[in-house]
Structure 1
Amino acid sequence: MTESSSHTATTPIETPPSPTLSKRAGRAAFVGTLLEYYDFSLYASAASVVFAGVFFSGSSAFLGTLQAVGTFAVGFLVRPVGGVILGSLGDRFGRKKILVLTLVLMGAATMLVGLLPGYSRIGWLAPVLLVLLRIVQGIGASAEYGGATLVAVEFSSQRRRGLLGSLPGMGAALGGVLGTGALLAVSTALPKDVFLDWGWRIPFLLSGLILAYGLWLRRSLPETPEFRRIEQADATAKSPVRDVIRRQPGALVAVLVMTIGQTGIGYFYLVFMGTFGANQLELDRTAILVGLIAAQLANAALIPLFGGLSDRVGRKPVIAFGFSYSAIFAWVAFSALTNSNSATMFWVILALGNGVGVGAIFGPMGAYVTELFDTEHAYSGLGLGREAGNAIGAAAVPVVAVPLAFDGTTVWLSLLLCGIALLGLVAAVLSGSPSRTDDVHSRDRVHIAV
C-alpha cells in the first residue's frame, strides 16, 4: 500500500526557535525520559533480583521469575490505551500540559512502589497493589517518550533533528543506568537480608528528586512552535486518533512494527537477560546488575552518535543497520555465552547487544517517527503506533523468552531475537523516508510503502 500525506498549509510562526530555547526543550525532553526509564529500569532490575522473593514468596524459581517479569509486562500492556488517550489530548490541547501530567504519574507511582509492603506483611494484596502501581506507571509512560520526542524535534532546526530527537532516547538509556546503578549501590552497601527487607526501596523513593527537577523544567517551557502554528490557524484536530488512522495507516503500521523490533530487542537484553544470568548462568546479583549497567551505558553513549549520523546519511540506513546487526548478533551472543558463561562475557554481550544494535535503531527513531506524521495528529500517531508496538515487543518478548530459557538449549532464544530483529528490518526497509526540507516549520510530502 502506498500512502501520501502533506501537512496542512497554515501560517508559519514568524521566526524559528532560538538556539537557547531549543536547548531548553532538549533538556526538558531528556529529563522526562530520564525519569521514565529510571523508573522502568529500576523496576526491571528489581523484578530480576528482588520482587520474586518480596512480592511472590513461596513460588518456585520458575514461577516466581515468571510472575515478577509478568508484572513488568503489565506496564506495557496498558500503554496503548494511555498512549491513545493522552496522545489525543496532546494533539488537541498542547504537548506541554500532557508532558507535565506524564511526569507526575510516573514519579508518584514509582515512589509508592518504594512504600509498598511485601507479601509477608499483607499477603495477596501486595502483588495486587504492585500491579496497580505498575499500571499507573504504564499510563504515565505511554505518552512520555512520544511527547518528549515531539518537543525536542519541533523545537529543533532541520539539520539537527536527528541529534536532538535522540535526546529522549539518550535520557532513557541514562535513566536506566541510574535506576540499575542505584539498586546496585544499595545492594552492595547493605547486607543481603537488609537489602531484601527494606534497602531496595531507597532507589524508588529517590525518584522524587528527578521528578521535582523535571517539573521545574517543563512548567517553564512554552508550547512548541509547530503546535502553536496549527493552533493559531485553528487547524488542531478535533478527532486526531480517527484522523491518523484514516489518513496515515501506513505510517502507523511502520511505526508499530519497527517499535516491536526495537523494544523487543532492548528489553530482551535489559529484562530477560537479567533472569537468564541468574538462573541459567548462575551469576550473582552484583554481576547481573553490572551487566545491565554496561548495556545501558553503551546504549547512552551510542544513541546520540547514531542520531547525529542520521542527519548526515539519512534515518533509514542507520535504523536498517541496527536491525541487521541485531539479527546476526543474536547467534553470536548465545554461542559466546555457551562457550564461556563468565561474568565478563555476560557484560560484553549485553553492552554490544543493547549498545550497538539498539543504539543504532533508537538514535534516529525519534526524528524518523515524528517526521512520518502530520503535526495535527503526530502525538496520537506516536501514542498509538509506538505504544501498541511497546505492548507487543517489550511486554511479550521477555515473558516468551523465560520458558524458552528453561528448555535446555539457547537455539530458541537466538531464533526469537533474530526473528524480531528481521521483523523490524522489513518494516524499516518498506517504510518510506520523510522528505527533507530547509525549514523546520514546513514539510513536503511523505510516502510510506507498506
Structure 2
Amino acid sequence: MLLLPDFLNIIYKKEGESMKNVKVLLASLAGSIIEWYDFYLYGTATGIVFATLFFPSEDPTISVLIAFATFGAGYAARPLGSIIFGHMGDRIGRKASLMLTLIGMGGSSFLIGLLPTYAQVGLVAPIALVLLRLLQGIALGGEWGGAVLLATESATKGVRGFFGSIPQLGVPIGLVLGTFSFTLISSLTTEAQFMSWGWRIPFLFSAVLVVLAIWIRSSIEETPEFRRKKEQGEIVKVPIINAFKYHKKDIFRLIGLKLGDGFFNVFLMSFILFYATTFLGYSRDVALLGLTLSCATMIISIPLTGYLSDFIGRKTIYIGGVVALIVLAIPYFTMIGQSTTMFYIMQVLLLGVVWSAIFATQGTFFSELFPANVRYTGLGLGYQVAAAIVGFGPMLWTEMGAKFGPSPIIFGGFMIVGLVLSLVLAIFSPDTRKITQYSDQHNGHTEFEENGQRDAKKA
C-alpha cells in the first residue's frame, strides 16, 4: 500500500523533479479548466438564454428542444476532434496538439459572446451559434485525451492514478466557474439587462483565461513516453488506422464503459438545471446552488480517489461506482423533488461522490489500454464517440419529461439500462493497475508495450 509520506516523496523529492511535476500537473489542469469552463458555460446558457434569444418559438418546448440539439451538436463534433488532434498528438506530440485545442475552444467561446441574436439578424444568429458550438466540440474532443496523457505519461511509477485524476478536476472547477459567473452576473443585473448583454460577459472572459493557460503550457516539455517512441522510431504514419487494426476491441470497450455513467453525468451536470426548474419547480438559484455544491465536493473526491486507485485499482473503484449508481438511480429521481435539502444531498451524493469516483479513474484506466504510439487517438476516439451519443440525452429527456413528467421509474430506468452495459464491460476488462501498456521506466518495457511495438512495425 502506498502511504501518504511515500506518495509525497515520489511527487516532490524524487531526483529533483519537484518543479517539473508541479508544472506538468498545473498545465494539464489549467487547460482542462478552461476547456470545460467554456463547454459547460454553453450548457448553462442553453436553457436559460439560447432557447429564447436564438431559437424563439411560439411553443417554449420546441425552443428548448432545438437549443438542446445545438448543445448535443457540441458532443457530436467531439469524435472528429479526437481524430484530428489525436493524429497530431500521436505524430507530432501532445504539447503542440494541446496548444491548438486551447485556441480553438477559447476563440469560439469568445465569438459566442459577440454574436447578434435572432431578433437582430434572423437565421444568421442560430446558424453562427451552431457553427461555433461545433468548433467547441472539436476542440474539446482533442483536449481531454491530451490533458490526461500529459499527466499520466509524465507520472513516475506508483502515482499514475493520482496524476491522471488531476486533469479531471477541470470538469468540476470549470463548471463551478461557469455557473458562478452566470450567477454573479445574474445577481448584479436585472432580468432585462442579463438577457440583453449580461450573459455575454462570461463568454468574453474566456479570452483572458485562454491566454493564461497558453502561458502555463508553453513552459512544459513533451511527455517522456512520446519522446521515447519518437527516439525509437515507433511513430506510426496514420494512428487511426493502426488503432482500429490492432486495438479495435479496446476502442469499443471504452465506448461501452463510458456510455452508462456518461448519460447520468450529462443529466447531473447539465440537464439538471432545466429539469429542476421546469419539472420540479425549483428556482434557477436553487438549481445552480445544488450543482455548485456537488462540483465543490468533486474537487475533493477526485484527487482522493485517484490516489486510492494506485493501490486499490482502477477497475475495482470503477465497478463499485457503477454499482452504486445503479442502486441509487431510482431513489435519486424519487428524492430530489421532495425538498431543496434532499435535492442538495442527492446531487452531492451522486455527482460529488459516486460519479466523481468513476470519473477520477477513467483517464488512467482508459489510457492504460493503449500503447503510446496510438494512445492519444485510441483514448480520445473511444471516449468522445461515447460522449457524442450521450450528448443528445437532453433532447430525449425533454420529450420524456413532457410526456411522463418527472417519473423516477422512467428516468431512473433509462439510466440503469446504460449502467448495466458499463458494468458488464467493466467486469470483463483487465485490471490496468497490473496489466498496462505504459512502459515502466525502471524495469524496461512491459510485455504489452512490446506487443504494441510489433504492431507499429507491422503498420
Question: TM-score higher than 0.5 here?
Answer: yes
Where do 1:28-177 residues align within 5 Å? 28-177=27-176
Query: Of residues 393, 398, 403 in structure 2, which corresponds to 1:402?
Result: 398
Gap change, CA 1:397 and 1:312, over 3 Å in 2 = same
Partner residue, 2:446: 444
Q: TM-score, normalised by structure 1?
A: 0.92
Q: What secondary structure sits across from 1:277 in the alignment? A: helix
Partner residue, 2:353: 356
Give, in angstroms, the shift of residue 301 of structure 1: 2.0
Contact 1:39 1:204 in 2 (8 A): yes
**Deviates most, 266-275 or 255-264:** 255-264
Query: Of residues 383, 386, 394 in structure 2, which corresponds to 1:386?
Result: 383
Q: What amino acid is aligned across from residue 392 of structure 2 in structure 1? A: A
Q: State the distance in 1 between where 2:322 and 2:164 align.
A: 19
Q: State the distance in 1 between where 2:430 and 2:23 align.
A: 31
Contact 1:307 1:364 in 2 (8 A): yes
Partner residue, 2:371: 374
Q: Does 1:345 align with 2:342?
A: yes
Contact 2:330 2:408 in 1 (8 A): no
Contact 2:145 2:379 in 1 (8 A): yes
Q: State the distance in 2 between where 1:417 and 1:303 align.
A: 22
Q: What amino acid is aligned across from residue 184 of structure 2 in structure 1? A: A
Q: TM-score, normalised by structure 2?
A: 0.90
Gap change, CA 1:65 and 1:440, over 3 Å in 2 = farther
Residue identity over aligned pairs, in percent, reads 34
Residues 107-138 of structure 1: per-residue CA shift (max 9 Å, x gap)? 01111111111111111111111100000001
Q: State the distance in 2 between where 1:366 and 1:334 align.
A: 28
Q: State the distance in 2 between where 1:89 and 1:80 align.
A: 14
Partner residue, 2:429: 431
Give, in angstroms, the shift of residue 347 of structure 1: 2.3
Contact 2:331 2:408 in 1 (8 A): no
Q: State the distance in 2 between where 1:426 and 1:17 align.
A: 43
Partner residue, 2:409: 411
Q: Which has the higher contact order (CA 8 A, sep 6+)?
A: 1
Where do 1:298-309 residues align within 5 Å? 298-309=297-308
Equivalent pairs counted in the alignment come to: 430
Gap change, CA 1:444 and 1:72, over 3 Å in 2 = same
Contact 1:17 1:156 in 2 (8 A): no
Give, in angstroms, the shift of residue 254 of structure 1: 1.8
Q: State the distance in 2 between where 1:410 and 1:439 align.
A: 47
Q: What secondary structure sits across from 1:376 in the alignment? A: coil
Q: State the distance in 1 between where 2:419 and 2:441 align.
A: 32
Q: State the distance in 2 between where 1:425 and 1:158 align.
A: 28
**Deviates most, 255-264 or 78-87:** 255-264
Residues 124-160 of structure 1: per-residue CA shift (max 9 Å, x gap)? 1111111000000011101101000001001111211
> What is the root-mean-square deviation in Å for CA atoms of aligned residues?
1.8
Q: What secondary structure sits across from 1:58 in the alignment? A: coil
Q: What amino acid is aligned across from residue 351 of structure 2 in structure 1? A: N
Q: State the distance in 2 between where 1:389 and 1:160 align.
A: 27
Q: State the distance in 1 between where 2:25 and 2:168 align.
A: 11
Partner residue, 1:9: none
Partner residue, 1:6: none
Q: What secondary structure sits across from 2:373 in the alignment? A: helix
Contact 2:168 2:302 in 1 (8 A): yes
Residues 21-51 of structure 1: per-residue CA shift (max 9 Å, x gap)? 1221111000111011101111111113221
Give, in angstroms, the shift of residue 273 of structure 1: 1.4
Q: State the distance in 2 between where 1:353 and 1:254 align.
A: 24
Q: What amino acid is aligned across from residue 103 of structure 2 in structure 1? A: V
Q: Does 1:276 align with 2:272?
A: no
Segments of 5+ residues of structure 2 without an aligned counterpart are 1-13, 450-459
Residues 380-425 of structure 1: per-residue CA shift (max 9 Å, x gap)? 10121111111112x1222221111122333211111122222222
